Amino acid sequence: LGKRISGALRSLTTATVIDEQLLDNILKEVCAALLASDVNVRLVQSLRKNIKKIVNLEELAAGVNKRRIIQKAIFDELCRLVDPGVEPFKPTKGRPNVIMFVGLQGSGKTTTCTKLAHYYQRKGFRAALVCTDTFRAGAFDQLKQNATKAKIPYYGSYTESDPVQLALDGVERFKSDGFDVIVVDTSGRHRQETELFAEMKQISAAVQPDNVILVLDGTIGQAADAHARAFRDTVPVGSIVITKMDGHAKGGGAISAVAATGSPIVFIGTGEHIQDLDVFKAQSFVSKMLGMGDLGGLMETVQDLKLENSNLVKNLEQGVFTLRSMQQQMSMMSSLGPLSRVAGMIPGMPPELASQLSDAQGSANLKRIMCMLDSMTDAELDSDGRLFYTQPSRIYRVARGSGVRVGDVEMLLMQTKKMGEMFKTMSGMSKMQQKLGVGP
Ligand code: GDP
Ligand code: MG
């Protein structure tokens, strides 16, 4: 999919005349690529119609950048496909938030349950796991093993065979123990599908989840539409997690699931390990689909859009480069393609950081950095890092929380400071150029 769409968009960059004919050709290619990637036919048709409606070439005033308008319309509509415009569920501390997982056998529920509990644990929630899968032998052992490794309290039983009772008991236990996030894992297979759906409905009615997460295998393709509908018709699906996006999955099916449920994708599973869970970002997902590693003409657009939408610009205008800005830069980088190719492209990146990120251990290094940033509190992220030196215990806490050495945290703080200085110089320069009328 990536290659074909980038190809279509490249013709936009190289064409000398931008007219209706060119737009139609580009749209034809974009749609063909989406269809080839298992995106639902109806969705593709409506995408095409919307873009045609937004880009009215004849009415565009002379002098406007038609290329940019077309690129932006295509990019925005692709983002809209994966973003239903619904605010995803967020647990609140200090009260029990029951999150129930549903999905077919093998989709990655049990794995993702632990990842999610771990994710919230790191954010300071008290999280626990409840296993209700009494169908598959070894299901409880699997959850127990994962949970033990991640030091997450769990509930399950080798003797109780009623999943509804297990769900009730587990949730009750953790509620009365004052847990904030109670994750309920369910079974994904039964002798008959009707049994599976009946069980899901009963568990949902019994525990009254605050959020139901549908887990879908990213490689599922066209079948995602029917699956998502079946689940949506049975339980109140509120969020979607797409797993196995570390392989060759294009995620086209994911798009159908969003349309079928009207629910947002909240996380992406990118591996079998506990930290392989990424917060879903529509723009990153789309950039990846578009094969931004190709660095086609859209690259600039994506960069522009990301900058427009982030707080980075605002922060820079106020003269601060915060750790949160650093986090945005890092996560943007991880979404753009092979690190070795993009590390050097982020403006203002200190050379030693760029080389750390583009060598053989690049993605492990990036993960470590993201891990440290994830272990920081909001106040810390919104600071430029000075706060850590006035209260060094913060450095130790982050090091412990992310399993790195104190020196690693100090290094990150130093690199953030350097990057901030570079950015400040650059934004000063571009302001000056604007004043002189010579800049972009
Ligand atoms: P469940 O039957 O829905 O509970 O699925 P499991 O959690 O048991 O996962 C099924 C298989 O998929 C296991 O081998 C997991 O390690 C694997 N898996 C789950 N999520 C991911 C992912 O994001 N990436 C990869 N590569 N494998 C995954
Ligand atoms: Mg399971």
The token pair at 8 is 């279509």
Residues 368 and 322 in one domain: yes
pLDDT at 142 over 80: yes
* Ligand 2 mean position, distance from CA 138 (Å): 9
Domain-located, residue 419: yes
- Residue where a domain terminates, one of 268, 284, 300: 284
Nearest CA to ligand 1 atom 13: 108
- The ligand that comes nearest to the alpha carbon of residue 103 is 1
Cα–Cα distance between 222 and 45 in angstroms, integer? 16
Residues 76 and 108 in one domain: no
* Ligand 2 mean position, distance from CA 108 (Å): 7
The answer to whether residues 48 and 15 touch, using CB atoms and an 8 Å cutoff, is no
Mean pLDDT, range 238-265, rounded to an integer? 86
Cα–Cα distance between 290 and 79 in angstroms, integer? 11
Domain-located, residue 294: no
Bridge partner list, 182: 98, 128
Residues 260 and 334 in one domain: no
Domain-located, residue 199: yes
Residues 106 and 244 in one domain: yes
* 4-13, 288-297, 328-337, 389-398: least confident range: 288-297
| Domain CATH for 46 | 1.20.120.140
Residues 104 and 70 in one domain: no
ipTM for the assembly = 0.99
Domain-located, residue 88: no
Quickly state the pLDDT bin for 197 (edges 50, 70, 90).
Answer: very high
Residues 415 and 280 in one domain: no
Residue with tokens 């009707």: 194
* Ligand 1 mean position, distance from CA 141 (Å): 15
Quickly state the pLDDT bin for 302 (edges 50, 70, 90).
Answer: very low
Cα–Cα distance between 355 and 357 in angstroms, integer? 5
Cα–Cα distance between 256 and 224 in angstroms, integer? 6
Q: Indicate the number of domains in the chain.
A: 3
Q: Which atom of ligand 1 is nearest to the CA of 133?
A: 4
Domain-located, residue 262: yes
- The pLDDT of residue 365 is 87
- Distances in Å between the Cα of 322 and the Cα atoms of 61, 173, 281, 348, 368 are 40, 41, 20, 14, 18
Quickly state the pLDDT bin for 202 (edges 50, 70, 90).
Answer: very high
Residues 322 and 243 in one domain: no
- The ligand that comes nearest to the alpha carbon of residue 116 is 1
Q: How many helices (H) and strands (E) does the chain have?
A: 21, 8
Per residue in 281-294, pLDDT (tens digit) is 787 677 666 544 33
* Ligand 2 mean position, distance from CA 109 (Å): 5
| Domain CATH for 244 | 3.40.50.300
Domain-located, residue 16: yes
Cα–Cα distance between 147 and 313 in angstroms, integer? 41
Residue with tokens 């950081």: 353
Please give all residues whose beta carbon lies within 6 A of any atom in ligand 1, as ranges: 103, 105-111, 188, 243-244, 246-247, 269-272, 276
Residues 69 and 101 in one domain: no
Residues 240 and 348 in one domain: no
Quickly state the pLDDT bin for 242 (edges 50, 70, 90).
Answer: very high
Domain-located, residue 64: yes
* Ligand 1 mean position, distance from CA 31 (Å): 31
- Distances in Å between the Cα of 249 and the Cα atoms of 44, 131, 175 are 19, 28, 38
Residues 192 and 150 in one domain: yes
pLDDT at 343 over 90: no
Residues 62 and 124 in one domain: no
Amino acid in the structure at residue 171 = V
What's the chain's length in residues? 440
- The pLDDT of residue 437 is 44
Q: Which atom of ligand 1 is nearest to the CA of 103?
A: 3
| Domain CATH for 410 | 1.10.260.30
- Residue where a domain terminates, one of 82, 112, 128: 82
pLDDT at 192 over 50: yes
Please report the DSSP string for 276-302 in residue order: -EEE--HHHHHHHHTTGGG--THHHHH
* Ligand 2 mean position, distance from CA 358 (Å): 36
Q: Which domain holds residue 21?
A: 2-82
pLDDT at 240 over 90: yes
Per residue in 59-101, pLDDT (tens digit) is 776 666 777 788 778 878 888 888 888 899 999 999 999 999 9
pLDDT at 194 over 90: no
- Residue where a domain terminates, one of 40, 56, 82: 82
Domain-located, residue 90: no
- The pLDDT of residue 300 is 47
Nearest CA to ligand 1 atom 6: 108
- The pLDDT of residue 50 is 92
Residues 353 and 406 in one domain: yes
Look over the chain and give the mean of its residue pLDDT values, rounded to a whole number: 82
The residue that leads in pLDDT, 291 or 32, is 32
Q: Among 243, 267, 276, 279, which is best to mutate for testing ligand 1, by the most ligand atoms less than 8 A from CB?
A: 243
